[in-house]
Amino acid sequence: MRVLVTGAGGMLGRDVVRAAGAAGHDVVALARAELDVTDAEAVASALGEARADAVVNCAAWTDVDAAEADPQGAAAVNAAGAGNVARAAAAAGARLVHVSTDYVFDGAASAPYVESDATGPRSAYGRTKLDGERAVAAAGGSHAIVRSSWLFGEGGRNFVATVLALGAERDEVTVVSDQVGCPTATVHLAPALLELAAGEAQGVFHVAGGGRCSWHELAVEAFRQAGVACRVLPCTTAEMPRPAPRPAFSALASERPESPALPPWQEGLAAYLAGRAVRA
Ligand SMILES: NC(=O)c1ccc[n+]([C@@H]2O[C@H](COP(=O)([O-])OP(=O)(O)OC[C@H]3O[C@@H](n4cnc5c(N)ncnc54)[C@H](OP(=O)(O)O)[C@@H]3O)[C@@H](O)[C@H]2O)c1
């Protein structure tokens, strides 16, 4: 396959580029400096010229708290930008794999969300991502919208990297224990996106690390696997307010047989830590 990756300089984008290369695909990697997805003309001409079989859209405004202060800025990338990529992919005859998020759900559930569950984003970020999903579907091309969650990967700003950095400096950290989700290693998600790119199934897919846990449990397991002696104290979301509300429960499951299943999140953590050790 010839695969074009947008947002190729991001945490997930870099792993998609690596995974595509490792799988023997021909890769066109476009970071933000090479292709701004908010520029409809630039997107149309880049996708028109690339003659790609598939496009994996990893470009996004991912700062959840900053989106609350600048919803228009977030919408330009996550909603309008996604629409630009989707229309250009449809015009070029390329299949689109578009990445979305568990934050499109309100978090009031007590069992994992499946693809057909009602959405209800609680944050500006979640609303812009949901608008992006709708724009992708409306463009009318062949597409897979992949909702994933709690990503961590090499080189990106993510919870696991942050907590490990804190653990190296402190004896004790405090982490929220009343938000539950599915931590997902980008190194596991990337090949799954390529699998969906090579297929033909349409619509929304939930693809996240197996199992589920709280941020507190994730921190405990990260320290355990990394051999860091740092105590993790639990706290509530109310005790640690943030600008953007987060869903209390956003674990994902799939009701679709075509959805690739990822290894348990603990294995994702192990793969991430192994990658860090190699690159250190
Ligand atoms: N991180 C998570 O926990 C999480 C969870 C669920 C779903 N997701 C989704 O996963 C996808 C990948 O996110 P990530 O975690 O890899 O985040 P990331 O590291 O922030 O990657 C996003 C990339 O998009 C780029 N970008 C921003 N605005 C752009 C624009 N106008 N045109 C082109 N590129 C632009 C960013 O460039 P700059 O860095 O230069 O701004 C960055 O390289 C996103 O769709 C995100 O919504 C993430």
Residues 6 or more apart from 97 whose CB is under 8 A from it?
54, 55, 56, 57, 143, 144, 146, 193, 194, 196, 197
Distance (Å, whole) CA 134 – CA 136: 5
Which residues line the pocket of ligand 1, CB cutoff 6 A? 6-7, 9-13, 32, 35-38, 58-62, 77, 81, 99, 101, 129, 148-151, 156
How many Cα atoms within 13 Å fall on the side-chain side of residue 161?
15
Question: Residue 99 class from Cβ within 10 Å (0-12 exposed, 13-18 middle, 19+ buried)?
Answer: buried
Distance, in Å, from the CA atom of 125 to the CA atom of 135, rounded to the nearest integer, reads 15
Give the integer Cα–Cα distance in Å for 151 and 104. Answer: 15
Residue 89: φ, ψ to 5°: -65, -45
pLDDT at 277: 79
Q: Which of 103, 113, 125, 272 is catalytic?
A: 125
**pLDDT for the residue numbered 85:** 98
pLDDT < 50 stretches in the chain: none
List the structure tokens of 189.
């998600």
Q: Measured in angstroms, how far is the CA atom of residue 206 from the centroid of ligand 1?
A: 18
Q: What is the per-residue pLDDT for 69?
A: 97
What was the pLDDT predicted at 278? 80
pLDDT value for 279: 74
Residue 159 CA, closest ligand 1 atom number: 3
Identify the pLDDT of residue 182.
Answer: 98
Residue 57 CA: nearest ligand 1 atom is 45
Quick one: which atom of ligand 1 is closest to the CA of 77? 31
- Mutating to test ligand 1, I would choose from 17, 30, 62 the residue with most ligand atoms within 8 A of its C-beta, which is 62
List strand residue ranges (DSSP E) for 15-111, in order.
26-30, 54-57, 95-101
Q: pLDDT tens-digit profile of 48-106?
A: 999 999 999 999 999 999 999 999 999 999 999 999 999 999 999 999 999 999 999 99
pLDDT tens for 162-176 read 999 999 999 999 999
Residue 113 appears among annotated catalytic residues = no
Q: What is the pTM for the complete model shown? A: 0.98
| CA nearest ligand 1 atom 18, residue | 10
Residue with CA at minimum distance from ligand 1 atom 7: 101
156 CA closest ligand 1 atom index: 19
For residue 240, give the 3-state DSSP assignment: coil
How much distance in Å is there from the Cα of 9 to the middle of ligand 1?
9
